[in-house]
Amino acid sequence: MESYLLDWSNLLLRWLHVITAIAWIGSSFYFVFLDSSLTPPEDEGMKREGISGELWALHGGGFYHPVKYNVSPPKLPDHLHWFYWESYTTWLSGFALLTVSYLWNAGIYLVSPNNPLMSTSMAIVAALGFLVVFWLLYDAICRVFGQKPNGDATVGAMVLVLVCIAAYLACHIFPGQAAFLLMGAMLATSMSANVFFWIIPGQRKVVAALKAGQPVDPMHGKRAKQRSVHNTYFTLPVLFAMLSNHYGWLYNNSMNWLILILMMFSGAAIRQFFVMRHGFKLGRNSHPWPYAAVGIVVLLGVVAWLKPAPQAAAAVAQTPAGYAQVRAIMDKHCVVCHSANTVAQKNVKFDTPEEVKGHAQQIYQQVVQLRKMPFGNPGALSAEEVDTFKRWYEGGASVAP
């Protein structure tokens, strides 16, 4: 029953998390596009009101005319929409999902049985520590260097180094799948913390000053803008880290930390291309194609690097493995989670030859192609055992005695 309820919790939280993440990322991408696409107003009245940019757009059969005030409008409107529930709900649902998927069974997913560096409780503390410590260090970098000359470049370089260190440590402390996911959760936590500690409080101070008839400090807008820009560069790396848990051959690689760094760097470079592209169309900067080119070259380089070695003819002609060989491995590694006498995870059971035969394709996909099983500890299967599953399936997946 516990497994059944956890599966439902996982499904519903994942559904909520994806929905709210789409809303958050969508609004973030839109406002970055809007800032890059604004043009100075031609109307003198708009200029006198302090409007610094406008955009005419067509969507859904209607015309839209958003404008941006340089610091604040001359009068606070009666109805003001705040963009924060998307961020908070995304983080809360994501943390709840992390809890039911990983922290609840930390002994399986956060501790490698082959190399247990920590106890279960220590692994939970370390995982949560990654979220908190990275935010504190990142926030300190922004506070100290963000307002100095060339501060944006300095902050960007230091945050890149910090992410690389975090990736290396995560992949050497936790199993690969957990390490990749925690890196995504770490960056996403900093994104939401930017909203909670800087963007929204700054906006509240601006609104309070307007209500009190006091002059507005433009620094609040500059700081909020800085953190918002950081968030948009974190987005693609976070999405890659979250999606990577479906591809065991990535996070189970011996150089998984380098793969993670390169893929995150590729995503950030490609995002930079899209951010700058809107300004280029208005003649504000040179064409940003080098950023896209660098991101794509790095991505293709990883693809070429991880290409499987060509099989020798002798290997192709190997004798198919028998069911008895596969059965012995499954009794050792698989039935603990897939049996009517244990958990029957995902309602998959391997108690009879017929049940094994019925799931042969899934077994081949999860064990041989994706390298995801045993879940949370795929390294428990030796290369010889993985090859046994491969030869069994490719030889016809016979369950004859």
pLDDT digits over 323-352, tens only? 888 888 888 888 777 877 776 677 788 888
How far is residue 229's CA from residue 225's CA, in Å, rounded to a whole number?
6
> How many whole angstroms separate alpha carbon 290 and alpha carbon 391?
45
Q: Provide the angle, in degrees to the nearest 10, between the axes of the packed helices 151-173 and 120-145.
A: 170
Roughly what angle, to the nearest 10 degrees, separates helices 151-173 and 219-243?
30
Query: Which tokens hold the place of 176?
Result: 């690969």
Query: How many whole angstroms separate alpha carbon 278 and alpha carbon 39?
Result: 11
Structure tokens at 246: 């479906």
How much is the CA Rg of the chain, to the nearest whole Å?
Answer: 26
Rounded to 5 degrees, what angle do the CA atoms 36, 42, 43 make? 125
**What pLDDT is recorded for position 314?**
47
Query: ∠ CA(35), CA(150), CA(29), 5° rounding?
Result: 25
User: Helix, strand or coil for residue 275?
Assistant: helix
Instruction: Find out whether 298 and 269 touch, Cβ atoms under 8 Å.
Output: yes
The pLDDT, as a whole number, for residue 311 is 59
Residue 145: enclosing H or E segment and its boundaries? helix 120-145
Domain borders along the chain are 94-305, 313-394
Cα 227 from Cα 275, distance rounded (Å): 15
Which residue spans within 234-279 are E strands per DSSP? Answer: none
Closest CA to 237 of 261, 215, 216, 221: 261
The residue whose two tokens read 């049996």 is: 339
pTM over 0.95: no
Q: What is the pLDDT of residues 355-384, one digit of tens each?
A: 888 888 888 888 887 777 776 667 777 888
pLDDT digits over 114-145, tens only? Answer: 667 788 899 999 999 999 999 999 999 999 99
- Tens-place pLDDT, residues 39-88: 999 899 999 989 999 999 999 999 999 999 988 888 888 889 899 999 99
Residue 54 · residue 41 · CB < 8 Å: yes
Rounded-to-integer distance, Cα 317 and Cα 322, Å: 15
Contact, 265 vs 163, CB < 8 A?
no
The whole-number pLDDT of residue 41 equals 92
The CA-atom distances, in angstroms, between 398 and each of 89, 331, 367, 389 are 49, 17, 17, 11
What average pLDDT does the segment 247-267 reach?
90
